[in-house]
Amino acid sequence: MVDLKPRDITFRIRQSTLELAVCLHRFNQHIVHKMPRPDTIYTVRGTAFHALAHKYVNYLVQTNQSSDHVYAESLTQDGAIFDTDAIALFREWHAKHLFQPDFIFGNEVRVLLDWDLNPAPPETPPRLAPFSGDLDRVEIDGTTGDIYDYKTSFAIFNPTTVQAYFYPWLLRRQFPHLRTIRFHLDFVRFNAMKHREFSVAEIDEREGDIILLTKRLFKALDDRVWPVIPNENCSNCTLECPLVKAGMTREAIGQIASYEQAVSMTQELYALENKATHFKAVLRNYVAENGPVEILHHRLGFKKKVKKKYPPGKIMVLNDKYGFEESRGLASDQKELNKIMRTYPEYVTELDAFAKDQSTTDFQFMPLDPTLESVALPPAVEEWKDD
């Protein structure tokens, strides 16, 4: 039993709801007051790609085929989808994917959960089934469930967002017999996948995080207080930001209002990066001869770093002793040794006996007062109350 008090809400808690709610003001505007969010090139392309992919995979399941490129091509020409980028992505995607219809449980699988976190029938209203998600493709093989989410973005990222555990959690609640649930991000533009695997114990632990995030939203609803919180998603926020109204610049917040603004910021970044490279080179020489330069709370100078250097011969002897590949860790690298250390601490202890300290310097800004992490910034959070 979950201690969430049922309430008469008109919205559902979805992965996108929770992600939007990093800034509670934005959540209030778009989710509570249902202010529409204008379509962007990104959302139009994503919707078009998903429509094609869902139709295609549904057809493969109905006809029990792993691929049918003639049918796929016919979908791109039936006039229902106009977005040329989405069509090009779909062509690349279907040409490179084979499916296993026997394992496909469904496409666009809608999962709804009630206040006790039990599955609810489709179309149950939000006041009775507050949690929901639409999973692009679900495959089930015995006690293993696989969730695939299609991404048309121009960047590949790791499945570390709320979605990466929210969807597995919904599936776990819908199918309690599953023991392992894998979440896959399918980056269709790059023909690349990123995966994350969860045991049921891990998902159950994450359930607590979801409930906490939900309670935060309900507390804001109860208190009618909607803090404005700048975050990485400000770049695609189309609201009139209260912080801008209060005098902060859009750039300081990270809100990008148009493509033209993105171009102008990119030009500025290009110039700044070139300038920074040049400044670093000349200041490095200046500081090497004249000593650190101080500004406000920081000093620019050289900081000594001591690294352990391991003799390659000894690494090879130990690799042989521990049954590793002969060259493992030779690229020298502390990172690789740290990895080995996690599993075989005795390997590194033995190796440490032969290590020699090697001193280098890093050219960087250092706080004058080491307890001071950074100079004071304007307040990032303001309280915004409903009238």
Find the shortest distance in angstroms from Cβ 234 to ligand SF4: 3
Q: What angle do CA 260, 262, 264 make, to 5 degrees?
A: 70
Cβ at position 253, least distance to ligand SF4 in Å: 5
Helix residue ranges per DSSP H, 237-311:
242-245, 250-253, 259-290
CB environment 32-48: b (16+ within 10 A), e (fewer): beeeebeeeeeeebbeb
Task: Work out whether 239 is an interface residue with ligand SF4 (CB under 6 A).
Answer: yes
Residue 297 burial (10 A CB sphere; 0-12, 13-18, 19+):
middle
Contacts of 283 (CB under 8 A, 6+ apart): 293, 300
Residue 255 found at the interface with ligand SF4 (CB under 6 A): yes
- What minimum distance in Å lies between the beta carbon of 282 and ligand SF4? 37
Q: CB of residue 379 vs ligand SF4: minimum separation in angstroms?
A: 12
In whole angstroms, what is the distance from residue 15 CA to residue 81 CA?
A: 26
Judged by CB under 6 A, which stretch of 139-147, 235-243, 304-312, 362-370 contacts ligand SF4?
235-243
Which residue's CB is nearer to ligand SF4, number 19 or number 336?
19
Among 228, 256, 315, 348, binds ligand SF4 (CB under 6 A): 228
Query: What residue type is assigned to position 14 of the chain?
Result: R
Q: Does 256 bind ligand SF4 (CB under 6 A)?
A: no
* C-beta pairs of 62-67 under 8 Å, 24+ apart in sequence: 64/101, 64/102, 65/101, 66/98, 66/99, 66/100, 66/101, 67/94, 67/97, 67/98, 67/99
In whole angstroms, the minimum distance from the beta carbon of 252 to ligand SF4 comes to: 11
Stretch in the footprint of ligand SF4 (CB under 6 A) among 100-108, 155-163, 210-218, 234-242: 234-242
Span near ligand SF4 by CB under 6 A; candidates 79-87, 116-124, 213-221, 229-237: 229-237
Query: In the range 2-31, which residues lie near ligand SF4 by CB under 6 A?
Result: 23, 25-26
Q: Which is nearer to ligand SF4, 356 or 385 (CB)?
A: 385
| Nearest residue (CB) to ligand SF4, 370 versus 378 | 378
Q: Rounded to the nearest whole angstrom, what is the least distance from the CB of residue 185 to ligand SF4 in the complex?
A: 23
Residue 258 C-beta: closest distance to ligand SF4, Å: 14
Q: How far is the CB of 233 from ligand SF4 (least distance, A)?
A: 6
Q: Which two tokens stand for residue 116?
A: 């006790």
* Residue 203 is a binding residue for ligand SF4 (CB under 6 A): no
Is residue 237 a contact point for ligand SF4 (CB under 6 A)? yes
Binding residues among 56-75 for ligand SF4 as defined by CB under 6 A: none
Helical (H) or strand (E) element with 177 = none
Taking CB under 6 A as the rule, does residue 32 contact ligand SF4? no
If binding is defined by CB under 6 A, does position 265 make contact with ligand SF4? Answer: no
Q: Strand 293-295 and strand 298-309: pairing?
A: antiparallel
Piece in contact with ligand SF4 (CB under 6 A), picked from 38-46, 77-85, 188-196, 237-245: 237-245
**Paired sense of beta strands 180-187 and 144-151, if any:** parallel
Among 48, 109, 171, 241, binds ligand SF4 (CB under 6 A): 241
The secondary structure of residue 117, as a DSSP letter, is: S
DSSP string across 126-156? TTT--EEEEEEEEEEETTEEEEEEEE--SS-
Window 284 to 313, contacts with ligand SF4 (CB under 6 A)? none
Residue 71 CB-density burial (10 A; 0-12 exposed, 13-18 middle, 19+ buried): middle
**30 vs 50, beta carbon nearer ligand SF4:** 30
If DSSP codes are grouped into helix, strand and coil, which group holds residue 316?
Answer: helix
Number of residues interacting with ligand SF4: please give it, by CB under 6 A: 13
CA 261 to chain CA centroid, nearest Å? 24
- Residue 12's H or E segment, with its range, is none
The reply on whether position 243 binds ligand SF4 by CB under 6 A is yes
Nearest approach in angstroms of CB 243 to ligand SF4 is 6
Q: Among residues 324 and 384, whose Cβ is nearest to ligand SF4?
A: 384
CA 379 to chain centre: 26
Interface residues with ligand SF4 (CB under 6 A) are 23, 25-26, 228-230, 234, 237, 239, 241, 243, 253, 255
